[in-house]
Amino acid sequence: MPMRRFTNALASPQAVVLAAAILFALVIAAFNPGFLSLATLVDLLRNSLVTGIFALGVLIVLASGGIDVSFTAIGAFAMYATMSLVMGLDVPMPILGFFVLSALIGALLGLVNGVLIGGLGLPTLIVTLGTLSLFRGALLTFVGTTYITNVPRNVISFARTMILRLENAVGQLVSLPLSFVVLVLVTLFVAFLMNLTRFGRSIYAIGGSEEGARRIGIDVARVKVWIYVIAGTIAGLAGMTHMTLSRMANPFDLVGTELNVIAAVVLGGARITGGHGTVTGTLLGALVITLINTSLLSAGVPSYWQKVVVGILIVLGTGLPILIDRFAKHRERLARAAV
Amino acid sequence: MAEPVLSMSGIRKAYGSVRVLEEVGLRLEPGEVRCLAGENGSGKSTLIKILSGVVPADEGTVSIGGRTIAGDARAAIAAGLSVIYQDFSLFPNLTVAENIALLKSTAARERWHRARADRRLAEETLARMGVDIDPATLVELLPVASKQLVAIARALANDARVIVMDEPTTALTRSEVARLAGIVSALKAQGVAFLFVSHKTEEVFAFCDTITVLRDGRVVADGTAAEFDGARLGREMTGRAVETQRIERAPAPQAPPFLVARGLSRRGDYAGIDLDLRPGEVVSLVGLLGSGRTELALSLFGMVSPDEGRIEVDGRPVHFPSAIDAMAAGIAYVPEDRLTEGLFLDQPIADNINVATLSSGFLSRAALKRRAVEAVKRLRIKTPGVEPNVATLSGGNQQRVVLARWMERSPRLMILNGPTVGVDIGSKREIHEILLALSRAGTAVLVVTDDIGEALALSDRILVMVKGRVTGAFDAAEIEEDRLYAEVTKEARA
């Protein structure tokens, strides 16, 4: 039955989002024939780098049944603190060092979340709302408020190194920077962690039933501390990636994009209630969110419309599967009656 | 005597000044099925928590498979103990295979997740139990009985030698209970010992070799099942003789019906239902889970709309688009699952009693409290006051709070779905007496239940529901228990 297959296909959030994205791309392509090209895809990848890295950290938190809104503040703090530290000490530092230092600072800030949430058992939304404000405030008060534009030469040269360069239909140059490797590595790490380790299964288990996890001997507090440390580390990497893309350290950046990232993860199939979510879905969600944000902009649609479209997509992507499920149950009931 | 696989001795436990357990001892040999019987509040749950290492004992020793467990849940699991909780504690978002394997891999502190090995372990374990469940299914999609089997498989996969089951048959139908009994006896032959925690007398005798009765934190009886009968078990659990027979009553008055239903049908749930509910009469609607009994009850309360048929109240046709309309007509409904549908657990007793009667815009705290205090006294709810949260009460007392709430409305028809599920024997009897008194004061009472003993003890008239149809109507004073049982469990006639 083709109808049945169609509704089944729409019964997962990823499918709805993918279908919407394809439809969306086709509409744009109708106005702008050059849109459907490899160049567009490369541009999309570049634009979704930071969202994608952040999203993978958020995925881990959502899978465990928690929520994190502090990760952008962690990213900004880690990135800016790393830069002012290195510039202040004025010692040569290999490019890898910038990422490692930023990741370590991110891990430390994540540990604060982890101790409050895992160690003291406080609610995740409240804690991360608090630390969002705390980390941002601490950054601006104690670390600095000025833009750092004279970034070290090796950072600039890293930022200029491209994996891929292409010309798009109208002759503009699009390129994929070397920092794409960060996304690839984080993706591999998170996929490995979530799918191939018992730790990853414990995260999903806690998201499914925290009490159940405790009863089978999972050390829930310890797992939670690690979740936020890892999410913080990933946020630190995302912050540094953002810095290399913009080639300057702006302490006011990133904060404010939390909901965009959380929306990407939810569109990718993770549930706010925990226990669900995949790496592929999350990356797909990040691409779709970026596609909407950038292509609408390039099509000359006012940026407020992006919010409208993203909002509709969230309601549709999470609501449609629920409605389809309800409809399927209703039909099942009628089918039982017919027997 | 064989070497015990589980032994507890001299267990004492107090919370503050409240002594919960006093000198409790228990032993279990391989292949033994023991029942731990006791009313709510007898100390059963605390004993299980100590046994499983979740809570340490103040004094006494617990040893499992020769190893001493002292307040360490992991050690208890590693020593071969598995507790299957009433809610099964499974992970709905994970597959059957993952659920089965996770306990073992956590206990063994494995580092890696091997999907294929998990699947193999699940297949082997389910095969050992003779159960056919697809290991790749998500647990949330399984029916309740299969979830329970997965929980047992999870315990076995971890080489459990003692399986503790808390109220294992609460959610099961007769045939599922029979299947569980088959699996338990097969595992018993393999040397697995079971501790059944229960207060349902029928299942105690159906499953168990030996019985330990706990009352007020002490072991008051211990022996083989053959030394007990229903009456003795009830007596030991409650400390007094419990009537299991029908409550004596004057015959129900033949008043004109309050509510009449004719030809009520809803596709997939029930068909061609005729009902007459009279003031002063208790009617039981007896049927198994899935017989359509709950849907029918909900239809009378406006929560589920029938496709066909009519309902009359006081001889006038009515239509209830919502529960509010049914309430306005004088109907009250006490749901099946009081914990999730019927009570605000973390709210005070007084608020829970008053919540259905709040209609005017202004509240008088003093008047509300007075009303709650009176209700508590009238229904003999055991509590120090009306301020504590409902969660602090035992099951029987929680159920009385629900009854009190609806009785405050002085309903003309009270529908109760499973009024004594999870309530111990002593309280059950008292709840039945409360309902009978309510009916004789002029309320029509409809009890929806699958507890045949309850229907016989409480009702004037019994309607049997099988596969969506009322297949029999009986005078409760005349029908025999065996006959009624046969009627309820028989398949629908084509």
Break chain A down into helix, strand, coil percent, rounded to 5: 75, 5, 20
Question: Pick from B92, B103, B111: which is nearest to A216 by CB?
Answer: B103
CA distances to A145, A176, B476 from B259, rounded to whole Å, are: 75, 74, 20
Give CB contacts under 8 A, 24+ apart, made by A226-229.
A226/A114, A226/A118, A226/A199, A227/A60, A227/A61, A227/A64, A227/A66, A227/A114, A227/A118, A227/A203, A228/A61, A228/A68, A228/A110, A228/A111, A228/A113, A228/A114, A228/A117, A228/A118, A229/A107, A229/A110, A229/A111, A229/A114
* Residues B92 and B57 occupy one common structural domain: yes
- Indicate yes or no: CB of A207 within 8 angstroms of CB of B107: no
Query: Shortest Cα distance from B25 to chain A (angstroms)?
Result: 24
**Parent domain of B301:** 259-489
Considering the domain architecture, whether residues B99 and B219 belong to the same structural domain is answered as yes
Return the bridge partners of B283, or none: B446, B461
- Count other Cβ atoms within 10 Å, centred on residue A216: 26
Q: Looking at the 3D structure of chain A, how many domains does it have?
A: 1
Judge: B93–A207 Cβ closer than 8 Å, yes or no: yes
Provide the shortest C-alpha distance from residue B408 to chain A (in Å).
Answer: 36
Residue A135 domain flag: yes
Number of domains chain B contains: 2
The reply to whether residue A198 touches residue B111, judged by beta carbons under 8 angstroms, is yes
Q: Which residue of B has its CA nearest to A274?
A: B93
Closest residue on chain B to A64 (Cα): B93
Helix, strand or coil for residue A105?
A: helix
Cβ-based contacts of A216 with chain B (< 8 Å)? 77, 89, 102-103, 106-107
What was the pLDDT predicted at A119?
92
B1 within a domain of the structure (yes/no) = no
Q: Which residues are CB-contacts of A223 (< 8 A; sequence separation ≥ 6)?
A: A64, A118, A199, A202, A203, A206, A213
Q: What is the pLDDT of residue A48?
A: 94
pLDDT tens profile B426-478: 778 888 888 998 898 899 999 998 777 888 889 999 999 988 899 989 988 88
Calculate helix-pair angle for A258-267, A49-63, nearest 10 degrees: 70
Q: Residue B157's closest CA among B129, B125, B203?
A: B125
Contact A212/B90, CB-based, under 8 Å?
Answer: yes
Instruction: Using CA coordinates, name the residue in chain B closest to A208.
Output: B91
Same domain assignment for residues B359 and B404: yes
* Cβ contact B204:B225 at 8 Å: yes
β-pairing, B33-37 vs B193-198, is: parallel
Interface of B with A (CB under 8 A): 54, 73-74, 77, 83, 85, 89-94, 98, 102-103, 105-107, 110-113, 267-269
Residue B203 and residue B147 in one domain = yes
* Distance of alpha carbon B481 from alpha carbon A143, whole angstroms: 80
At B240 the pLDDT is 62
- How near does any CA of chain B get to the CA of A63, in Å? 10
Pick the residue of A194, A198, A222, A226 with the most B CBs within 10 A to test the interface with B by mutation. A198
Containing structural domain, residue A293: 13-329
Inter-chain touch A337–B102, beta carbons under 8 Å = no
pLDDT of residue A238: 97
Residue in A closest to B98 by C-alpha: A201
For A214, the closest chain B residue by CA position comes to B73
Residue A176 lies in a domain: yes
| Co-location of B310 and B452 in the same domain | yes
Query: Are residues B228 and B111 located together in one domain of the fold?
Result: yes
pLDDT at residue number A11: 62
In chain B, residues with a C-beta closer than 8 Å to the C-beta of A275 are: 91-94
Angstrom distances, CA of residue A9 to CA of A4, A19, B438: 8, 10, 54
Burial of B161 (0-12, 13-18, 19+ CB in 10 A): buried
Residues of B in contact with A196 (CB under 8 A): 112-113
Contacts of B112 in chain A (CB under 8 A): 196-198
Q: In angstroms, rounded to a whole number, what is the distance separating the alpha carbons of residues A166 and A149?
A: 28
Rounded distance between C-alpha atoms, residue A53 and residue A72, angstroms: 11
Same domain, yes or no, for B232 and B369? no
Give the CATH number for residue B306. 3.40.50.300
- Domain membership of residue B453 (yes or no) is yes
User: Closest Cα of chain A to B276: distance in Å?
Assistant: 26
C-alpha span between A24 and A45 (Å, rounded): 17
CA A252 to chain centre: 19
B225 lies in the same domain as B347: no
Per-residue HEC secondary structure of B147-168 comes to HHHHHHHHHHHCCCCEEEEECC
CB contact under 8 A, B92 and A275: yes
Instruction: Tell whether B373 is covered by a domain.
Output: yes
Chain B CB contacts of A213 below 8 Å: 91
How far apart CA A51 and CA A54 sit, in angstroms, is 5
Q: Is residue B250 one of the residues assigned to a domain?
A: no
User: Do both B195 and B265 map to the same domain?
Assistant: no
**Which amino acid is it at B355?**
V
Whether residue A292 lies inside any domain: the answer is yes
**Residue among A204, A218, A275 minimizing CB distance to B106:** A218
Are the Cβ atoms of A197 and B98 closer than 8 angstroms?
Answer: no
State which residue of chain A sits closest to B52, comparing Cα positions: A215
The verdict on residue B494 lying in a domain is no
| Subunit contact B111:A201, Cβ cutoff 8 A | no
What count of CB pairs under 8 Å joins A to B? 75
B396 is written with which tokens?
Answer: 């029987």
> Is A229 within the bounds of a domain?
yes
CA distance B376 to B371: 9
User: For residue B216, is it within any domain?
Assistant: yes
CATH code of residue A200: 1.10.3470
Same domain (yes/no): B215, B266: no
Nearest to B113 among A200, A211, A337 (CB): A200
Place of tokens 């004057």: B250
Check A333 against B268: CB less than 8 A apart. yes
Minimal-distance CA residue of chain B relative to A330: B268
φ and ψ of B383, to 5 deg: -160, 150
Inside any domain, residue B244: no
Inspect the interface and report whether the beta carbons of A212 and B268 lie closer than 8 Å.
no
pLDDT (tens place) for every residue of chain B, 494 residues total: 578 999 999 999 887 767 788 899 999 999 999 999 887 667 888 898 899 888 889 999 999 988 888 777 888 888 899 999 888 889 999 999 999 999 999 988 889 999 999 999 999 999 988 889 999 999 988 888 899 999 999 999 998 999 999 888 766 776 778 888 889 999 999 999 999 987 677 777 888 999 999 988 889 999 998 898 877 887 788 766 555 577 888 888 888 999 999 999 998 889 999 999 999 999 999 887 778 888 899 999 998 889 999 999 998 999 888 888 998 899 999 887 666 667 888 888 888 888 877 766 677 788 888 888 888 888 888 777 888 888 877 777 888 888 888 888 889 999 998 888 767 667 788 888 889 988 988 999 999 987 778 888 899 999 999 888 999 899 888 888 778 877 877 654 43
Is residue A159 included in any domain, yes or no? yes
Please list every residue in chain A whose beta carbon sits closer than 8 Å to the beta carbon of residue B92. 208-209, 275
The tokens 């509409």 sit on which residue?
Answer: A27
- Claim to verify: residue B229 and residue B330 sit in the same structural domain: no
Task: Say yes or no: B233 and B270 in one domain.
Answer: no
Domain boundary among B208, B238, B268: B238
Q: Distance between CA B196 and CA B205 in Å, rounded? A: 11
Any residues with CB less than 8 A from the CB of B404 and at least 6 apart, and which?
A: B353, B372, B375, B376, B378, B379, B381
d(CA B96, CA B154): 9
CA distance B285 to B294: 9
Point out the residue among A201, A207, A208 whose CB comes nearest to the CB of B113: A201
Whether B251 is in a domain gets the answer no
Cβ contact A79:A321 at 8 Å? no
> For chain B, how many helices (H) and strands (E)?
16, 20
| Residue A2 included in any domain | no
Inter-chain contact A198–B112, Cβ cutoff 8 Å?
Answer: yes
Instruction: For residue A5, tell me if it sits in a domain.
Output: no
CA distance A195 to chain B (A): 7
Q: Mapped to the 3 state alphabet, what secondary structure does B343-376 carry?
A: CCCCCEHHHHHHHHHCCCCCCCHHHHHHHHHHHH
With a cut of 70, list the residues of chain A below it in pLDDT: 1-13, 329-330, 332-339
Please give the pLDDT value at position A8.
57
Contact between B83 and A204 using a beta-carbon 8 Å cutoff: no
